[in-house]
Amino acid sequence: GESVGLHLPTLSVQEGDNSIINCAYSNSASDYFIWYKQESGKGPQFIIDIRSNMDKRQGQRVTVLLNKTVKHLSLQIAATQPGDSAVYFCAENMYSGGGADGLTFGKGTHLIIQP
């Protein structure tokens, strides 16, 4: 698959503020996008996903926005808490007819929460 990248390697926000993490993707054929959270020493943990036929999806304190026109994906975290400190990855999954290929990951954004 083609690369999925992130605009900023590190994002620092105040506790209680909203966080926005951005991601650019290059493959217009991608039909599924995922955000993962990875805490130090652990495996990636699923946060939220969105299909290409949608432009917004909300979860608990998180919202993912998809802009296919400019191939941009964002993750919004409301009322950021210390437990949100982690590296966040966007990924795309091109589901092929013969089965599921793996995910193509961006390089990650490190979210730092300031007290």
Partner 1 sequence: DAGITQSPRHKVTETGTPVTLRCHQTENHRYMYWYRQDPGHGLRLIHYSYGVKDTDKGEVSDGYSVSRSKTEDFLLTLESATSSQTSVYFCATAGQGAYEQFFGPGTRLTVL
Residues that bind partner 1 (CB under 8 A): 1, 32, 34, 36, 41-46, 49, 89, 91, 93, 95, 98-108
Using the minimum distance from each CB to partner 1, give the nearer residue, 42 or 115. 42
Between the alpha carbon of residue 8 and those of residues 34, 95, 98, 99, 112, the distances in Å are: 18, 28, 35, 33, 12
How far from chain centre, in Å, is Cα 39? 14
Neighbours of 106 (CB within 10 A): 23
Smallest distance, Å, CB 82 to partner 1? 21
Nearer to partner 1, 80 or 104 (CB): 104
Closest to partner 1 by CB, 17 vs 56, is 56
